[in-house]
Structure 1
C-alpha cells in the first residue's frame, strides 16, 4: 500500500535535526521508491548520499533525474545535475558528453568544446585513439565556422576507415576554405579529398584539381583531368577557358594546356570559329607561342577560316623569326607573298628571313616571288573586271610607250610635277641617307643649253598619244621581252619593273636598291634617277634627291614635258637647300625654253631680286 509521503518527509526532517543521517536517508528512499517521479525527493536523497559519503548512489540518482529533465527539454536544470555528477565523479565521461551536448544546444560553443576536448585528451592518455577520434569527429560538427575543427574531424573519420564521409567533408571544406580566402589550405584539402575518393568525376572537383596540378607544373596530370571536363557540356568547357585566363599571366605554359584542351572540345563540336577565337585571344596575351600559333593555323585551315589563317601565318612567321628559325619563316613568308604580293608586312618578313639565311641576292629572290604573284593577282582581277578602288602609288608614273620587238623596253617616267610648289624643308633638318649620312652636294654644272636643245629636237617629233593606264603586263614587259644580246639592259629592265611593283605596293624604301641598279643602264637612267629623286624628296632627304636629279639630267628625257618637269624639280630643290644662284640659273634656262611654264617667271623675279639685294 502507498505510504504517507508527507509523514515520511516530516520524519526524515526530524532525523536530520537530531543528526541521524542514515535514518533520514531511509525515509527519503522509501518515498523515492514509492513515487519514482518525485524528482525533488530523489534530488534531496542524492544530496544525502553525498553527505553520507556514498557518491555512486548519488550519481545514479542525479543521472536518472538529469536524463528525465533533458528529455523534457529542461536543459539548464539537466546541466546543473550533470555538473553535480562531475563534482562527485570528475572523470564521468557520459556526464561530460551530456554537458557538451547541452552547451552546444544552448549555443555555448566554448563550453561544449572544452568538455569534448577534455574527453578526447583523457582517452588519448589512456591509449584509446578510436574513442578520441569519435570525440574529434563530434567536435568537427559543432561549429560550421571552425574550419580547423572540421578538418580534424574529417581526418579522424578517414583514420577510422570512413573514407566516404571523409571525402564528403573534405569536399565541403574545400569550398569553405576558398570562401574564407585560404587557398593553400583549400589545395591541401583537395588532395585529401582525392586520396579518399580517387575516382571522383565531379566537375567542381576536377577543375580545381587540374588547376592545382597546373600550378605545381604537373602538366600531364592536369591534361588528364581537364580532358574529362568537356563531357560535362558547355559548363565544363567554359570552366577550362576561365582557368586558362586565371593562369595566363603567372603560368603561361599551364594556360596553354587549358587552351589546347578547350580547343579540342570546340573542334570536336565542329565549332572552328570559337576555337580560332580562343587561340587568337591566347596568342594575343602570350605572343610568340609557336605551338598555339601552329594550332591556330591548323584550325583555320580545317574550318576554312580564310581571313584568319593569313593573320595566323604572319604571327607564326614572326615567332619563327624571333627564335632565329629562318627556314620555317621563309616558307611561310613565301606563301603569304604569293597570296598577297601587295602586303608590305609579308614582303618584310621574307626579307628578314633571307637576311638571316645570308642569301646572296635578296632583291632577286624577292622579285622571283613578288613579280609572278603580282601579275597573277592582277590578271585575276582583270578577268573579273575588278580593280582596286584606291591603289597605293607612292610615285605617279606615266604610261609605258609602245615598243618594237628586238629593242629594249622604254622605261616609264615620272609624271610632270604639279604646278603647286612643294613645301620648303630646312636642309638642317633633312633625314640622313638610308646607308649613312647624307652625301655632300657636288658642284656639278648641268649643261642646260645642250639639254634644252635636245628637248627642242624632241619637241619637233610628236610623242605617241597617251595609252590606258599600264597594267602589270606592261610593268613586266621588260622581263618578258627577248632582247637578244642586250643582257645588261634586260637585267636593268627586270630591276626597274621590280621597283615599279614596290612603288605600286607603297614600298618606296624597298624600291631604292632596284632603282639604283636600273639607273646604271643609260636606257633606264632618266626614269630610274627621277624616281629615286622623288623618293628622297618625299623622305625630306634633299641632298641625294639633287644628286639623282642631276644624274637624270645627264641623259635625254623621253619628251619635252618630262625634261622640263625634271629641271623644275631640280631648281626647286636647289632653292630649298640654300643654293639660290644655281636655282636661278636653272629657272632662267627653263624660262627661255618655256616662258609660261608653271610659276617660273615669278621664281626668276624673286631669285633675281634676292641676288641683287644680296
Structure 2
C-alpha cells in the first residue's frame, strides 16, 4: 500500500510539472483512496481545486485538512486554514467542524469569535435534532459570557428539558444571581426557586434562595430552607443569614444560640448580636438584651475595641429611649470610658424616664450625678423644681445645697431688699430669694466664660437677660458692673463709669486667656466690639458645645480616634457637606487623615484629598487667617461636589510651625463667617 501511495504521489508531481492539473487531481484522489487521511494529498487537492476556480470542491478538502490538523494539535495551522478558506466561503461547514473552530478560538482567548461560532454550531445541531451537542455549545457560550442573564436562562431551560438537573440548577442559580444584582428581586426569587427545586440538597442553592426570601420578607420560609444545613454549618455568612431569618420570624432564642456560638468560635457576628439585642428590647425583654450587650462588651473590650462598642451602643440607645435597662447600661458604658459629655446626656434621658415612670428616688440620684458632672447647667434648677414635693425635703435640701456650693458667692452682692453696704443673712437655698441668687450667679458665670471664648453675641444675650431680671444689680455687684464694662454694654439709662474694667477671672473648670479691655462705644445698644487676642465671631457658638467637643477629643485613646472625633464633631455642628482633617507638613501627602461626609456623600479618594490640600494651600489667607476657595470649571472642588471650601492651618504647639489643616466645604453657595 505504501508503495502505491508513493507511486501516485510521484505521478501527481510529474503531472504538475507538465501543468496537467486534472491528471494531477486524479493521482491525488488515488492517494486518498489508498490512505484517506493523507495530509499532503488532502491539502494539494484543496489547492488545485482553488486554482481551477472551484471553491466548493476546494472547501471540501480544506475542511478535511482542518479536521486532520486539529487532531495532532497543530492548532495554529488549523486556524489559518479555516480563517483563509472556510470561514467566509459559500459552502456550509459541518457543525462539528464549526464547534472545533470555536474551541480553538476559545483557547486563543478570543471569546467574542468563539461565542459567535458556538452559536452557529448550536443552531445547526438543533436543526439536525442533535440536542446533546447543541447543549454542549450552549454551556460553552454561558461559560464565555457569565454575566449574560438571557444566555444563562437559555442554558438552564435546555438542560432542564433534557433532564440534566445539575447543569440546569447551576444555570438557574447563576441567572438568579444576575437578576438579583440588577435589582429584579422578584425575578431572582423565581429563578432561584427553580434552582432549588432541581437541587434542594445543594447548600449554595439553599442559601441564596433563603437570602432572596429574606429580601422578599419571607423570613419563615427562609428559616425552613436553611434548617436542614444548620447542624453542620459554621460558616459566618450562613450563620448570619440563618440567624437573621430566625430573628425576623420571632425565634430569638435559637438565633441567640447560633450567634453566641459564632462569637465564641470565630469572633464574628457582633453586628448581628446588636441587632438581636434591639429585637429583644422591641419584644419587651430588656433584661435579655442587656445580657447580650454585656457579652458583647466583654468581647469587644478584650479586643481593645471600646470605641467601636460605644458607637454601636449609641445607636442602640438612641433607638430605644424609653427602655430603662438599655439607658442604664448605656450610661454605665460612658461612665466606665470617662466620657462625661455623653454620660451627661444619657443621665438627662434617665432623669426624664425615671420621673415619668414615678421613680423619683432614681430621678434624684440621676440629678445628683448630673450636678457632679456639670454644676453650671442651667437646667439643674428646673429639674430640682420638678422633684419638689415628690421626694423627701431633707434630700431635696441636700441637692439644693450642692447646687449652691457649686459656685462661689458673688463679691459685693446683696439681696435686692438690702441696701448696698449693709450686711445681710444668706438666704436659704430652697427659698425664692435663694433660687434668684443662684440664677443670677449662673448667668454671670456663663457670661464670664462666653467673654473668655470671644462668644460676644452669646455674652450680650446673657447680659440683657441679667438686666431684665435683675435691674440695678450692677450698682450692688462690682463683679457684674465689671462685666458690663468689659463687654462695652450697659443697660438702658445706667451710667457708664470711666474706670478701666477689671479682667474677668477664669472659671475654675475651663482654662482661658484673660480678656483685654477695649475702648467704649458711644451708643449703648450697639453690639459688643471688644477683642481678647482672638477675633470676634458673628454667629452663635455655645460654650457647652465647645466644652463637649474638647472633652470628646481628649477622651480618645489614639491620635487616629482624636482626629476622627474632631472632624465628625466639626462637620456635624457646622452642617457642612464635607469636613477633612489632615496631619503632616505642607507640600507633602498627609501622614494621617480623617473625613466627615454628609448623608449620601461618598468619601473622597486619597488622590483627591492631596489635590484639595494643594489647591487650598495656594490660597491667600484672609484677615482671620482662613483660606477660602471657590469652585471653578474643572477644579478639584467641582470633582468633590463642593461650591466653596474653607481651610485653617493647624499649628504645632511647640515649634509654631504648620502641622496640618482642617477643611470644611459646602455643596451650595455660602459666605463663610468668622466663627466658622
Give the TM-score of the pair, scaled to structure 1: 0.46
More strand by share: 2
Larger Rg: 1
More helix by share: 1
Give the TM-score of the pair, scaled to structure 2: 0.43
